[in-house]
A and B are shown apart, each in its own frame.
Chain A
Amino acid sequence: MTDRRDVKRMVETYLGSLATPAGDRVDEKVLPAALTAMHKAKPQMALASHSIWRTIMTSKTSKLTAAAVVAVVVLFAVFGSLTRPAWAIEQTIEALKNVKAIHIAGRVHYPDRQIDAAIDIWAAASSSDPSLSGDFFYREGEDHVCVASEKENLTYVSGRCEGPNTTVVYITEGLNRRGPIFPSGDMLEEFKKAAQHWQEEYRPDPATERPCVYVTFAGPAVNGARYWSIQIDLDSKLPVRAAVWFEEARQGPAHFEYSGVTYNPTLPAGLFEFSMPAGAQVVDCRKIRKLLAETPGLGLPVDGLSCQDACKKVVQAYWQAVIATDWATARKLRPLASGELSTLYAGNPPVELVGISRMNHLEDPGTLAEVTLVIKLTDGTTRNSVLNVGVSDTTDGRVAAIAGTVGPELYR
């Protein structure tokens, strides 16, 4: 045995073969005891608040003051109940439990790229865990599609890479882009937990006149946008609209706006079967990740670096090697390349990495990172290139490697 990987494989096999007691036997021993402990712990919580109340109520003045306060509170409560329908987030969480599928239509707006596109989302609850999305379909504009299939256990992300003018489809194992905003109550609960400045405003929907509560808060960020507004229908208790803005003022087009929400719709046949666009370049992300996990010494160690820094480091190292015609190092950093790397740049070899102009899909589990860079060639002209970079945690630490290019090797 020469390698840590061999030892790890042996340990995996060994751990997988360890015998454990029968589940039923353990259940009989553990569950009743745990439930009893939970049951006993609950009244103690109630007792603690009760004893505080008893302490306050020991003096006569306290009793009179408390009585007055209670009367005022009751009056406010009765008056409030007449003007404002009672709603609590728990009701929405409960109502969302009956949602097994969802369709959402809306819009996305990227102010920096001046993109404003329609979005279409379909999601079905996971068969094994109804609180999570299983099958998932997302379309943004004409080009960007994501399909996650629970049956296949694969996620396809298809999009147009504008520079090289290439449609690229990324395939990853597992369901990597889970659900839209609404499908489960726990998602809403997560939002509530993370929310700041939570405010509720009760007013009817201007179009339908149905009573609604409008909840605004600063919460989980979507591409940096974090100022949310969610409209909840008070009859159904279900969200009917949501939007998130970059600015707290919530003016102008929202970054994402989910407006047409249908709960438990009939799902179109074949919706979650990915259809490969004609002429698309397929990037199977599993290949580079598997190769890095199984072959020591490939790629570049990037322990402790962010994904962005890791991508930058491996791209710079690769081009340094190419420019120095150190093909052995270049091959190590780009292990999936077919054929000789030197032939890729024959005729007008690169002489300088001018710079990195853009990084896309960083930290995106459904794709590889795309690093767009500018290269200067021997004849003084410059070309662009989009490199796919994979970053993996392996037995020997975090490693980054180049999986290939999106589109041609170099383009104008």
Chain B
Amino acid sequence: MIEDRFLIWRFNRGDPAALCRIYEKHRDGLLKTAAALLNDRAGIEDVLHDVFVEFAKSVGRFELRGSLKGYLAICVANRARDLNRMNRRRAAVDPDEVPPRAADGIGPAQAAMSRETIARLDAAMAELPDEQREIIVLHVQSKLPFREIARLREISINTAMSRYRYGLDKLRSILNGELGS
């Protein structure tokens, strides 16, 4: 957090190295966030591109309130939502079309998860309303506390937590076959 504030201070004074460091520090997490929120994963790089170009334009006047990670994650979520609206929502996902999983960092739990389960989760996530999906991804993937998500989304913490719970419940329903998916 403190490092981010210092980087922002340098960034606002036009230090390109600060922008590079901010990018390097947050790139991988934001790519994952974008991958989890986009219906069409071909747009992952575009999301990151747009977010960082917009961020770079704010040089000299960027004010950080809360965490930089949270701010950038919300920017990614907003951009992903725009792109999803532009593209049609995937109706279903063919297991064969699921992108290959990352080669690095696969633990036993991931290895144990079948491609079919991943495909079902993929489809189930795409079925969720945007606001529920976002909160699940921001909380589980980006590790943002509900308090921060609530602040960034300008909703109450109870609303944030409720959306999260509804989202998980809906996923469970979809995965249990209670809703037609």
Interface of A with B (CB < 8 Å)? 1, 4, 6-21, 23, 25-27, 29-31, 33-35, 37-42, 45, 129, 131-132, 184-187, 189-190, 193, 303-304, 393, 395-397
B113 touches A10 (CB 8 A): yes
Task: Check A14–B158 contact: CB distance below 8 A.
Answer: no
Bound together, the chains give a CA A10 to CA B23 distance in angstroms of: 29
Residues of B within 8 A of A14 (CB): 113, 117-118, 121-122, 125
A-B contact pairs, 16 of them (CB 8 A): A4-B165, A8-B140, A15-B36, A16-B105, A18-B35, A20-B35, A20-B102, A21-B31, A23-B27, A30-B48, A31-B20, A31-B52, A34-B49, A39-B16, A186-B6, A186-B9
The closest CB in chain B to the CB of A33 belongs to B53
Is B157 in contact with chain A by the CB < 8 A criterion? yes
Do A304 and B31 touch (CB < 8 A)? no
B111 to A: closest C-beta gap in Å: 9
Name B100's closest neighbour in chain A (CB-CB). A19
Residues of B within 8 A of A (CB): 2-3, 5-6, 9, 14, 16, 19-20, 23, 27-28, 31-32, 34-36, 41, 44-45, 48-49, 52-61, 99-102, 105-107, 109-110, 113, 117-118, 121-122, 125, 136-137, 140-141, 145-146, 157-158, 161, 165, 168-169, 171-172, 175-176
Interface of A is mostly: helix
Closest to A39 in B: B16
Query: In angstroms, how far is the closest chain A Cβ from the Cβ of B20?
Result: 7
How long is the Cα–Cα vector from A175 to B18 in the complex, in angstroms? 25
Tell me which residues across on chain B come within 8 A of A9, comparing CB atoms.
109
B53 to A37, Cβ gap below 8 A? yes
Would you call A41 and B35 a contact (CB within 8 A)? no
In the assembled complex, the Cα of A101 lies from the Cα of B2 at a distance in Å of: 18
Q: Do the beta carbons of A41 and B5 come within 8 Å of each other?
A: no
Query: Majority SS of interface residues in chain B?
Result: helix
Report which of B48, B99, B117, B158 forms a contact with A19, defined as CB distance below 8 A. Answer: B99
> With A26-B45, A184-B2 as given contacts, are A35 and B56 in contact (CB-CB < 8 Å)?
yes
Residues of A within 8 A of B141 (CB): 15
Chain B nearest CB: distance from A187 CB in Å? 6
Among residues of A, the one whose C-beta sits closest to the C-beta of B58 is A41
Number of A-B contacts (CB under 8 A): 164
A7–B175 alpha-carbon span in the complex (Å): 9
**Is the pair A18, B140 in contact by a Cβ cutoff of 8 Å?**
no
Inter-chain contact A303/B2, CB cutoff 8 Å: no
Cα-based distance from A25 to B46 in the complex (angstroms): 12
Which residues of chain B come closer than 8 Å to A39, judged between CB atoms?
16
Q: In the complex, what residue of chain A is closest to B22 when comparing beta carbons?
A: A34
Question: Which residues of A have CB within 8 Å of B49?
Answer: 29-30, 33-34
9 shortest A-B CB distances, which residue pairs?
A: A186-B6, A38-B56, A20-B31, A37-B56, A19-B99, A34-B52, A34-B56, A17-B101, A14-B121
CB–CB B2/A38 < 8 A: no
Q: State in angstroms the CA–CA spacing of A25 and B28 once bound together.
A: 12
Most buried by B among A8, A16, A41, A187: A16
B115 nearest CB across to chain A (Å): 10
Contact of B6 among A30, A189, A396 (CB under 8 A): A189
Given contacts A12-B140, A30-B45, contact A1 B102 (CB under 8 A): no
By the criterion CB–CB under 8 Å, are B2 and A186 in contact? yes
> Closest CB-CB distance, A358 to chain B, in whole Å?
27
B118 to chain A, nearest CB (A): 6
Give the CA-CA distance A4 to B161 in the complex, in Å: 13
On whether A20 and B5 interact (CB within 8 A), knowing A15-B137, A37-B53, the answer reads no
Asked if residues A30 and B52 are in contact (CB atoms below 8 Å), the reply is yes
11 new A-B contacts, CB < 8 A, other than A1-B176, A42-B60, A184-B2, are A12-B140, A13-B109, A19-B41, A19-B100, A20-B28, A33-B53, A34-B23, A41-B57, A41-B60, A42-B14, A190-B5
Which of B6, B27, B58, B121 is A131 in contact with, Cβ under 8 Å? B6
Are A16 and B110 CB-contacts (below 8 A) given A11-B140, A35-B16, A393-B146? yes
Residues of B within 8 A of A15 (CB): 32, 36, 137, 140-141
Q: How far is the CA of A8 from the CA of B137 in the complex (A)?
A: 10
List residues of chain A with CB within 8 A of the CB of B100.
19
Could you tell me the distance between the alpha carbons of A4 and B168 in the complex, rounded to whole angstroms?
A: 6
A38:B102 contact, CB within 8 angstroms:
no
Chain A residue contacts of B44, Cβ below 8 A: 20-21, 26
